[in-house]
Structure 1
Amino acid sequence: MNRKKLQKLTDTLTKNCRHFNTYEVNCLVSLFYTLVGDVAERPGAVTGLDRNAFRNILHMTFGMTDDMIMDRVFRGFDKDNDGCVNVAEWISGLSLFLRGSLEEKMKYCFEVFDLNGDGFISKEEMFHMLKNSLLKQPSEEDPDEGIKDLVEITLKKMDHDHDGKLSFADYEQAVREETLLLEAFGPCLPDPKSQMEFEAQVFKDPHEFSYDM
Structure 2
Amino acid sequence: RGGGTGRRLTPETVNKSEVERLIQLFDTLVAESGSRFAAAGLSRSTFRDALYSAFGMTDDMIMDRVFHTFDRDNDNCISVVEWVEGLSVFLRGTLEERIKYCFEVYDLNGDGYISREEMFQMLKNSLLKQPSEEDPDEGIKDLVDIALKKMDYDHDGKLSFTDFEKAVRDEILLLEAFGPCLPDIKVHP
TM-score in same-fold range (> 0.5): yes
List 4+ stretches of structure 1 deviating above 2 A: 38-42, 44-47
Which structure's relative contact order is higher, taking Cα pairs within 8 Å and 6+ residues apart?
1
Over the matched positions of the two proteins, sequence identity in percent amounts to 69
How big is the shift at 1:63?
1.1
Determine which of 21, 30, 38 is the counterpart of 1:27. 21
Q: Secondary structure, in 3 states, of the residue corresponding to 1:192?
A: coil
Counterpart residue identity of residue 57, structure 1: A
Residues 129-175 of structure 1, C-alpha deviation per residue, up to 9 Å, x if partnerless?
Answer: 00000011111420000000010011000001111100011101100
Counterpart residue identity of residue 27, structure 2: Y
Runs (5+) with no aligned partner, structure 2: 1-7
Runs (5+) with no aligned partner, structure 1: 1-15, 194-213
TM (norm. structure 1) is 0.79
The residue aligned with 2:82 is 89
Map 1:92-111; keep pairs closer than 5 Å.
92-111=85-104
Q: Is residue 2:136 matched to residue 1:143?
A: yes
| Whole-angstrom CA distance in 2 between matches of 1:20 and 1:84 | 22
TM (norm. structure 2) is 0.89
The residue aligned with 2:9 is 17
Q: Which structure has the larger Rg over C-alpha atoms?
A: 1
Map 1:32-181; keep pairs closer than 5 Å.
32-37=26-31, 46-181=39-174
Residues 94-113 of structure 1, C-alpha deviation per residue, up to 9 Å, x if partnerless?
Answer: 10000000000000100100
The structure where helix makes up a greater share of residues is: 1
Comparing 180-189 and 135-144, the one that deviates more? 135-144
- Could you say if the C-alpha distance between residues 145 and 21 of structure 1 is closer, same or farther in structure 2, counting changes exceeding 3 Å? same
- Could you say if the C-alpha distance between residues 53 and 38 of structure 1 is closer, same or farther in structure 2, counting changes exceeding 3 Å? closer
Counterpart residue identity of residue 107, structure 1: K
Contact map agreement 2:35 2:43 (CA 8 A) in 1:
no
| Whole-angstrom CA distance in 2 between matches of 1:126 and 1:25 | 34
The number of aligned residues is 178
| Whole-angstrom CA distance in 2 between matches of 1:171 and 1:114 | 11
| Whole-angstrom CA distance in 2 between matches of 1:184 and 1:163 | 19
